[in-house]
Each structure stands twice: as structure tokens, then as C-alpha cells.
């Protein structure tokens, strides 16, 4: 009934909007003037650490402004990627952090879990390096810098950087907005809703202001967990032998949880601005976000006859992510000679979760399957603490020479633990385990410190021709301490008194690594006219090495089960990129066609790639061989007539190995596979693009009606390097979205539909096809397909003041 009511409301609203059409005033001159004004209003970006129009920026930078973010309902990086060329996001839902890939620079499997390899992309919230997926609300613009950005942005930018620039407090005016949205999702029983609002209040006129934004999101799930054990250790996971049994057997053994992959998120960001004048400003920000879900946005790929929106896990797999960020930014004008910018930030994140661990233990071939009721679950907790400090000086003295110099410090600490429980197994096997059936424990603490100094200078040879050079020196050190223990018997060396969990000191080990290096950049641009600019860049980028956050092995290995990292699996080194790029920015036909096109060639050395430990198949990072990424990126906005705007993006990316990568692809039962020259890297389509059109109908009242349609195309991807080692190729797909918006300057109401045709598409996989099969009569269930959200239809309104 709830879904029918919302659909009826949407249809009634559409009819009402349609009834307004006879009142349309054909105000061609007014629409033409508005279109011209919009075309001239380029977004101002600061990705070069200076304020400049995006069309005048001599690098490959894409900007998405607040108007487009609102019009396309872009609230996170998963939606943003559809409107920026060269960006791929492996959408695996709220349960897993979505992975960002720029220009194909990722060699990891497209798995839902994956290794602990850090992203090759740096993300920023304003001036703060961000390792949290905050919702994109009350954002002024998003800047995407493609290609290595090592000189100004440092570690993690060997592929590029993404900057989310929030709206700043206003010391003069009370202002803000409120936004409400309701929606239904195909194959779901729930109605989704979003509410967010921002308030800006001057506290002391011209000097102090507070801007606060709050949002609550409920995104309905559509994946059903229909086979959750009622009584683990007693209920039978496969009551029908080689199938899930009769309806009566299923009712006796299973609980059903519909739409388990929902997302509930509360988020807030609060910024206090204190300024003595325009020459001295301080921004104090506190941000908080809490997200919850009960399951993965993935199915079980048809195992045991499960459907497209059904997962066969024996347990619910909830996750809770809580994040805090506190930052202080100070901007000071130093006697009109330079601008001082300091940014200090502390972030904390805590992630807890639980996973169905049964298949991992079954795959180890220790005969767990002989117990008919065998199952296992693994709760975990990960804590992250990060402190950042950056100080930079930006020239303000004018003249042909401009410069930026600065320093950066980063301290990143993690604390992780993971337990495995085997309900009922110890009693069945007659083993003296703990009363709670805990059979495995592990902990890992890691610490990474990085220091860097950097500088960049630009010289204007003529008013049309500039040359820029930059350099950055970095140094880092990392260390890890971890331990693991199993089995946890009631006596002997591994005695773990219940309910305490204690590690034998002999089961704890440490490791460390350090390195340093230099990256640099040369760039030049020439403006033939105010509407045509050509630029060329050579830049290098890097991603620091580190330690795999897993317990080091205690050598010599003891007989039986070991879950740990060997000495040569513990440490990995940095990887680096060298980028050659040329691009053109243009504004043609009296600015009715505005866009950019760029071609690039990136050499990637010492690739950090996900692998697995020999003992326990733990996800780790290792250094592979060499690869190359080359391609073309295009974006444009055109206005063939005053009321019609057509925009689009296209990217072609060919990324593959150029050298043999020995043993880089790891399988559970079939050894290791080499990566070969020419092997395509996983996760990125060769071809991707977006095309959209917006038609605006003005009214005499000053209101207008906007009709928008957008299509998003993603080409096929491979799930492992060269699709070797039980990798596969995932098919291409196209998704369509549309909206109708009626509004004036301070309010609007919209009807929208995403994935209009309810297309089914697989975005990535969990594990590999090697994990499809039967182990002594027990079907393995942990191979899975992450899928796109089905058709979503809704209504939303926004009010500004």
C-alpha cells in the first residue's frame, strides 16, 4: 500500500504539472539571455591552489557545481562518477566502501571485500585529506583532477585527486535550504526517504558566522537474506541434502530477512567562521556521520537456486560505520605578498561488522563439513585515527611569477581485531574449546607516518603563455604489530580463560618499513584566444608503501591450521606513475559549445596489487610488475537553442601490463598464475560515457519547467588481471534516468526515475568462479555478484531561504 500511494502521488503530480503547460509564455528573448548568462558563468576552481575559472585552468580538471549536484541528486561518489570522464566507481553498496578508480589505475580484483591496498586516488573535504565517505550535501562544487597530482597533493595521487568543496559560512546573511525526498525501489517493500537542511546564521555581523547542515538517509534495500539460520549449531544449513530443502524444512531452519542491504545514515557538518577582516579568517569544522546496514548489495549468483535479488548467507552481515572529523583552517594575507593557509585535522572512524565465515573454513579442507550443522560467523572491529597538518604559502604579489610552497605531515594509526566462532562444532567434535565456541582470534595494530615538503612556480612568458614546474620530497615509515591464535582450547599453551581473550606472547610479531623519494611536474599552456587554450603536462605521482595489516607468522610454522603473513608477505613498497598529457579547452559558437578534450599516456611501475597469504588466504598487498594506461577523455556542454542544453562525457581507457608479473594472481586450490604483457587490468571499462539533455520551459509567473533525460554507459570489465585465475569478463550496461522539475528561484518540486527500464547489471564480484562448487556435499556460497540498484521512482522538493 505504501508503494502504491507514492506511485499515485507521483502520477497526480505529473498530471498537475502537465496541466500548467497551456499557461506557458514563449519568452524566447528571456530564455536566450538566461542561457547566455549560464554559459558565461564558469565554475571557479582552486585545484591548482589558486582561484581560476575551470575553462582557464591549464590542467585536466573537471568541476561539477552545486546546481548540477542538486539537479542530478548526486549525494555520493557513486553518482558523481557518472558525470565525470575517466572516473570509475565499483558500486558495491553501503556494506562495502565503494572503490574509486581514475584512468584505470587499479590492479586489484573487483571483489566486494578486496585487500587492504590503499586507493590510487586522494579525496579531500575542502583542504582536509579525507578517508571517509561523507555524504555530498551543501557542497559548492566537486573538483576532479585527473592524472598524477603528486607535487601539490602528495601520497595517494598517482592517478588523481577529488576535492569536495563545501559551502562556506556567510557573515552577513541568514540563509539556508531544506530538502525532502521519498522514493520506491523495484523488488523492495519499503519506501525510502531523505531529509537534509542547511542553516547559515551570522553571530556577529561581518565577523562571526555558523553554517550547519544535517541529513538523514534511508535507502531501501532490495537483497533478501532468506536462509539465515534460526539456531546456529542446531539448524541445518542444507536441510535438503544438496539443496535448501522443502518449504517445511526451510521454515524449520531458516529466518527470512527482506531488503537487508538498506542504508540508514545520519550526517552533519558544522563550520564556524571567525574573521577579523578579509585578511584573516579561521574556519573550525566538526563533521559526524553514522551509517548502518544489515547486508551486502550482492546476490549469490544463483547458487542453490537463489534469485537475482537473493543472497544465501547463513547469517545476516551487518555493518556500522561511525566517523568524526575536526579541522581548523586559517587563511591569512601576509602584507599582500603571500597568502598563508594552514589546515589541521583529526579524523576518527570505527567500523564494526559481522560476516558469514562458513565458506572460508570449508574451503580450507579441514573436514568441518562433516558436522551437518556446521556454520561460522566472524565479527570484527576496525578503528582508524588520522592526524594531518599542512602549511602552505601562496604568492599574492602579482607580476609574471607566482608560486606555492609548503609542508605536509600525516600520522595514520589503525587498530583491528577479528574473531571466528563455530557454533555447536566443539560439542559435536568433542574438542575442549571455550563455551562460546570461539576458535580463532587475531589483532593488528599499524602506524604510518609521512612527511613532505613541496613547491610549485608559474612564470608567464607572455599574457598567453605560461610555464609551471613543481617538486615534492616525501619520506614515510610504517610499522605493524599483530597476533593470531587457534585453536582456543581450554588448557595448555593456548589457554584463553572464558570470557577473557588473551594472546600468548609467543603468538605476537612485528614488522616495519620506510622509504623516501621525489616527484615532480612540468606544465605549459598557451591561449590562442579567450575561447581556445592548449596545455601539456608531464607529471609523476606516488603511493607510499606500507605493511599489510595482518598478524606476522611465528616461525617455524606449527603443524595444522595457520592464518598469518610470512616475512616476504608483510611489507610492500611504493608504486609510482609517469604521466604525459596534452589537452584542449574550447568555447565555440558564441559560447554555445563549451568543453575540453585530453589525451594521456601513463607508465605505472611497482604496481601495488591485491594478493593473498599462503597461510589462511588473507588479503594482502604486493608489488607487481609494470603497466601502461593510455586514453582520451572528452566533456562538453552545448546549447543548440536557447531552451535546450545537451551535455556529455566520454572516456576511452586502455590499461594493461607491459611486463610479466610472476605469481601475481592467487587461487585457493590451483596455485598462482602469472600476469602476461598485454593483460588488461581489472575494474575499468575501455569505453564509458554519459549523455544528457535538459529542456527548460519558462512561464509568465517567473517559474520554469525543466525536463531532463540522462543515459549512462559502462563498457565491459574484467574481474582479475587478464581475466586469468578464474577471473571473468562482466558485460557492459546502460542505465537511463529522467526527471521533471517545476520551480522558481526559492523552491522547486521534482519527479524522477533512475534506472527507468529496471536493467539488471553486475558491477563486480565477490571471490572468483573457483569458489563455485560442492565440498563433500556442502555447496559453497561465497561467490557473489554485486548489482546495480533496480528502478527507483520518487518525488522531491527543495526550499531555499
Model confidence band, residue 440 (pLDDT cutoffs 50, 70, 90)? confident
Model confidence band, residue 786 (pLDDT cutoffs 50, 70, 90)? very high
177-192 pLDDT, tens digit per residue, is: 999 999 999 999 999 9
| CB atoms near residue 380 (< 10 Å) | 17
Model confidence band, residue 18 (pLDDT cutoffs 50, 70, 90)? very low
The pLDDT of residue 183: 97
Please say whether the beta carbons of 377 and 354 come within 8 A: yes
Please say whether the beta carbons of 677 and 660 come within 8 A: yes
Return phi, psi of residue 682, to 5°: -80, 155
- Listed residue (110, 35, 224, 150) closest to 538, CA to CA: 150
Q: What is the mean pLDDT of residues 62-80?
A: 82
Most confident of 108-112, 539-543, 583-587: 583-587
The pLDDT of residue 496: 56
Q: What is the DSSP annotation of 460-505? A: EEETTEEEEEEEEEEEEEEEEEEEEE---BSSSTT---TT-----G
User: Collapsing DSSP states into helix, strand and coil, what is residue 38?
Assistant: helix
Residue 308 scores a pLDDT above 90: yes
Please say whether the beta carbons of 290 and 91 come within 8 A: no
> Judging by beta carbons within 10 Å of its beta carbon (0-12, 13-18, 19+), is residue 437 exposed, middle or buried?
buried
Return phi, psi of residue 508, to 5°: -115, 130
Bridge pairing between strands 338-356 and 319-334? antiparallel
More confident residue, 789 or 50: 789
What residues are paired with 765 via a beta bridge?
785
The pLDDT of residue 495: 52
The pLDDT of residue 698: 95
The pLDDT of residue 21: 40
The pLDDT of residue 154: 64
Least confident of 53-57, 151-155, 179-183, 238-242: 151-155
Give the H or E element holding residue 784: strand 784-787
Q: Which residue has the cell 503547460?
A: 21
Q: How far is CA 781 from CA 63, 616, 644, 698, 773, in A?
A: 42, 18, 50, 56, 8
Query: Cell for 302?
Result: 544463483
Residue 281 scores a pLDDT above 50: yes
Q: What is the mean pLDDT of residues 321-327?
A: 96
CA angle, corner 163, sides to 733 and 466, nearest 5? 105
User: Collapsing DSSP states into helix, strand and coil, what is residue 67?
Assistant: helix
| b (16+ CB within 10 A) / e for 62-89 | bbbbbebbbbbbbbbbbbbbbbbbbbbb
Least confident of 197-211, 611-625, 660-674, 733-747: 611-625
- Long-range contacts: 298-302, Cβ < 8 Å, 24+? 298/92, 298/93, 298/112, 298/223, 298/766, 298/784, 298/785, 298/786, 298/787, 299/223, 299/784, 299/785, 299/787, 300/781, 300/783, 300/784, 301/765, 301/772, 301/783, 301/784, 301/785
Least confident of 196-200, 494-498, 684-688, 792-796: 494-498
Give the H or E element holding residue 714: strand 704-714
Is the alpha carbon torsion for 301, 305, 307, 313 positive or negative? negative
More confident residue, 81 or 580: 580
Residue 59 scores a pLDDT above 90: no
The pLDDT of residue 489: 61
Q: What is the mean pLDDT of residues 247-261?
A: 97
Bridge pairing between strands 672-675 and 626-641? unpaired
Cβ-Cβ contacts under 8 Å for 784 (sequence gap 6 or more):
112, 296, 298, 299, 300, 301, 311, 765, 766, 767
Return phi, psi of residue 461, to 5°: -65, -40
Task: Please report, to the nearest 10 degrees, the dihedral formed by the alpha carbons of residues 683, 89, 144, 610 taken in order.
Answer: -50
- Listed residue (439, 373, 299) closest to 782, CA to CA: 299
* CA–CA dist 57, 596 (Å, integer): 11
Please say whether the beta carbons of 756 and 738 come within 8 A: yes
* CA–CA dist 800, 136 (Å, integer): 17
What average pLDDT does the chain have? 87
* CA–CA dist 756, 753 (Å, integer): 6
Please say whether the beta carbons of 80 and 87 come within 8 A: yes
Please say whether the beta carbons of 43 and 224 come within 8 A: no
Q: What is the mean pLDDT of residues 400-417?
A: 94
- Identify whether 487 is preceded by a cis peptide bond (ω within 30 of 0): yes
Using only C-alpha atoms, the chain has a radius of gyration, in whole angstroms, of 27
Alpha helix stretches (DSSP H) within 659-779: none
Cβ-Cβ contacts under 8 Å for 750 (sequence gap 6 or more):
739, 740, 741, 742, 743, 795, 796, 797
Task: Please report, to the nearest 10 degrees, the dihedral formed by the alpha carbons of residues 219, 215, 745, 19 taken in order.
Answer: 30
Q: What is the mean pLDDT of residues 226-232?
A: 97
Residue 6 scores a pLDDT above 70: no
Q: What is the mean pLDDT of residues 481-508?
A: 68
Q: How far is CA 530 from CA 64, 459, 640, in A?
A: 22, 19, 21
* CA–CA dist 627, 610 (Å, integer): 15
309-323 pLDDT, tens digit per residue, is: 999 999 999 999 999
* CA–CA dist 292, 288 (Å, integer): 14
Residue 134 scores a pLDDT above 90: no
End-to-end CA, the chain = 35
Percent of the chain with pLDDT over 90: 60
More confident residue, 476 or 117: 476
The pLDDT of residue 4: 44
| CB atoms near residue 785 (< 10 Å) | 21
More confident residue, 161 or 233: 233
* CA–CA dist 778, 770 (Å, integer): 15
Q: Which domains does the chain have, with CATH numbers?
A: 2-223+259-800 (2.40.170.20)
Query: Cell for 652?
Result: 576511452
Q: What is the mean pLDDT of residues 359-372?
A: 89
Least confident of 513-527, 616-630, 667-681: 616-630
Length of the chain in residues, anyone?
Answer: 801
Q: How far is CA 349 from the centre of its chain?
A: 15
| CB atoms near residue 709 (< 10 Å) | 14
Least confident of 147-156, 347-356, 662-671, 737-746: 147-156
Residue 265 scores a pLDDT above 50: yes
The pLDDT of residue 118: 56
Amino acid at each position: 500500500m505504501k508503494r502504491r500511494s507514492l506511485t499515485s502521488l507521483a502520477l497526480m503530480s505529473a498530471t498537475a504539472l502537465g496541466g500548467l503547460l497551456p499557461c506557458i509564455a514563449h519568452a524566447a528573448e528571456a530564455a536566450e539571455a538566461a542561457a547566455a548568462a549560464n554559459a558565461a558563468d564558469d565554475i571557479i576552481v582552486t585545484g591548482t591552489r589558486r582561484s581560476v575559472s575551470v575553462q582557464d585552468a591549464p590542467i585536466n580538471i573537471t568541476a561539477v557545481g552545486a546546481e548540477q549536484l542538486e539537479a542530478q541528486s548526486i549525494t555520493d561518489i557513486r553518482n558523481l562518477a557518472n558525470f565525470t570522464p575517466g572516473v570509475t566507481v565499483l558500486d558495491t553498496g553501503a556494506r562495502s566502501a565503494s572503490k574509486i578508480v581514475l584512468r584505470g589505475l587499479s590492479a586489484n580484483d573487483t571483489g566486494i571485500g578486496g585487500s587492504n591496498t590503499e586507493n590510487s586516488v586522494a579525496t579531500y573535504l575542502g583542504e582536509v585529506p579525507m578517508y571517509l565517505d561523507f555524504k555530498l550535501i551543501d557542497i559548492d562544487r566537486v573538483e576532479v583532477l585527473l592524472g598524477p597530482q603528486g607535487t601539490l597533493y602528495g601520497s595517494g595521487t598517482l592517478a588523481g585527486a577529488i576535492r569536495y568543496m563545501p559551502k562556506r559560512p556567510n557573515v552577513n546573511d541568514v540563509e539556508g535550504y531544506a530538502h525532502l525526498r521519498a522514493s520506491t525501489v523495484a523488488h523492495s517493500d519499503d519506501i525510502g526517504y531523505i531529509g537534509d537542511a542547511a542553516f547559515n546564521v551570522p553571530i556577529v555581523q561581518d565577523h562571526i558566522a555558523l553554517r550547519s547542515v544535517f541529513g538523514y538517509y534511508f535507502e531501501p534495500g532490495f537483497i533478501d537474506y532468506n536462509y539465515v539460520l534460526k539456531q546456529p549449531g542446531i539448524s541445518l544449513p542444507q536441510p535438503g541434502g544438496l539443496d535448501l530443502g522443502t518449504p517445511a524444512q526451510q521454515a524449520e531452519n531458516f529466518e527470512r530477512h527482506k531488503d537487508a542491504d538498506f542504508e540508514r545514515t545520519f550526517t552533519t557538518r558544522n563550520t564556524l567562521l571567525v574573521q577579523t577582516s578579509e585578511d584573516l579568517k579561521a574556519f573550525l569544522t566538526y563533521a559526524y556521520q553514522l551509517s548502518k546496514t544489515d547486508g551486502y548489495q550482492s546476490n549469490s549468483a544463483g547458487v542453490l537456486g537463489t534469485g537475482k535479488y537473493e543472497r544465501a548467507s547463513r547469517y545476516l552481515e551487518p555493518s556500522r560505520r561511525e566517523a568524526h572529523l575536526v579541522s581548523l583552517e586559517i587563511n591569512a594575507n601576509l602584507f599582500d605578498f603571500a597568502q598563508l593557509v594552514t589546515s589541521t585535522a583529526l579524523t576518527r572512524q570505527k567500523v564494526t561488522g559481522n560476516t558469514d565465515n562458513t565458506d572460508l573454513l570449508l574451503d580450507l579442507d579441514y573436514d568441518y563439513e562433516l558436522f551437518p550443522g556446521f556454520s561460522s560467523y566472524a565479527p570484527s572491529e576496525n578503528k582508524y585515527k588520522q592526524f594531518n597538518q599542512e602549511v602552505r604559502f601562496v604568492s599574492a604579489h602579482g607580476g609574471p611569477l607566482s608560486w606555492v610552497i609548503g609542508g605536509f605531515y600525516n600520522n595514520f594509526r589503525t587498530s583491528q581485531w577479528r574473531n571466528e566462532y563455530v557454533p555447536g562444532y566443539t560439542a559435536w567434535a568433542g574438542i575442549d574449546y571455550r563455551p562460546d565456541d570461539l576458535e580463532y582470534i587475531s589483532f593488528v595494530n599499524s602506524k604510518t607516518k609521512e612527511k613532505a615538503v613541496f613547491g610549485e612556480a608559474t612564470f608567464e612568458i607572455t599574457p598567453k603563455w605560461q610555464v609551471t614546474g613543481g617538486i615534492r620530497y616525501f619520506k614515510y615509515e610504517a610499522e605493524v604489530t599483530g597476533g593470531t591464535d587457534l585453536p582456543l582450547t581450554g588448557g595448555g599453551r593456548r589457554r584463553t580463560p572464558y570470557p577473557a581473550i588473551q594472546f600468548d606472547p609467543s603468538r605476537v610479531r612485528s614488522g616495519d618499513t620506510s622509504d623516501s623519494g621525489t616527484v615532480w611536474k612540468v606544465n605549459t599552456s598557451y591561449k590562442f584566444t579567450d575561447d581556445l587554450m592548449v596545455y601539456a603536462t608531464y607529471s609523476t605521482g606516488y603511493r607510499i608503501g606500507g605493511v599489510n595489516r595482518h598478524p606476522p607468522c611465528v616461525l617455524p610454522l606449527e603443524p595444522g591450521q595457520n592464518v598469518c603473513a610470512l616475512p616476504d608477505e608483510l611489507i610492500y613498497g611504493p608504486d609510482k606513475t609517469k604521466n604525459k598529457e596534452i589537452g584542449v579547452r574550447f568555447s565555440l559558437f558564441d559560447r554555445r559549445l563549451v568543453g575540453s578534450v585530453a589525451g594521456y599516456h601513463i607508465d605505472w611501475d611497482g604496481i601495488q596489487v591485491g594478493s593473498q597469504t599462503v597461510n589462511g588466504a588473507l588479503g594482502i598487498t604486493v608489488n607487481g610488475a609494470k603497466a601502461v594506461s593510455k586514453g582520451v577523455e572528452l566533456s562538453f556542454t552545448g546549447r543548440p537553442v536557447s531552451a535546450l542544453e545537451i551535455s556529455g562525457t566520454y572516456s576511452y581507457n586502455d590499461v594493461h601490463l607491459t611486463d610479466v608479473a610472476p605469481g601475481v594472481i592467487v587461487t585457493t586450490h590451483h596455485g598462482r598464475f602469472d600476469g602476461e604483457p598485454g593483460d588488461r587490468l581489472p575494474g575499468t571499462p575501455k569505453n564509458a560515457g554519459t549523455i544528457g539533455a535538459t529542456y527548460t520551459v519558462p512561464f509568465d509567473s517567473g517559474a520554469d519547467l525543466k525536463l531532463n533525460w540522462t543515459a549512462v554507459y559502462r563498457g565491459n570489465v574484467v574481474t582479475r588481471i587478464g581475466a586469468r585465475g578464474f577471473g571473468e569478463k562482466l558485460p557492459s550496461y546502460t542505465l537511463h534516468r529522467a526527471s521533471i522539475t517545476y520551480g522558481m528561484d526559492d523552491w522547486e518540486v521534482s519527479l524522477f526515475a533512475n534506472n527507468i527500464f529496471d536493467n539488471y547489471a553486475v558491477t563486480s564480484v565477490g571471490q572468483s568462479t573457483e569458489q563455485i562448487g560442492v565440498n563433500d556435499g556442502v555447496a559453497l556460497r561465497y561467490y557473489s555478484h554485486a548489482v546495480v540498484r533496480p528502478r527507483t521512482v520518487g518525488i522531491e522538493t527543495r526550499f531555499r531561504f
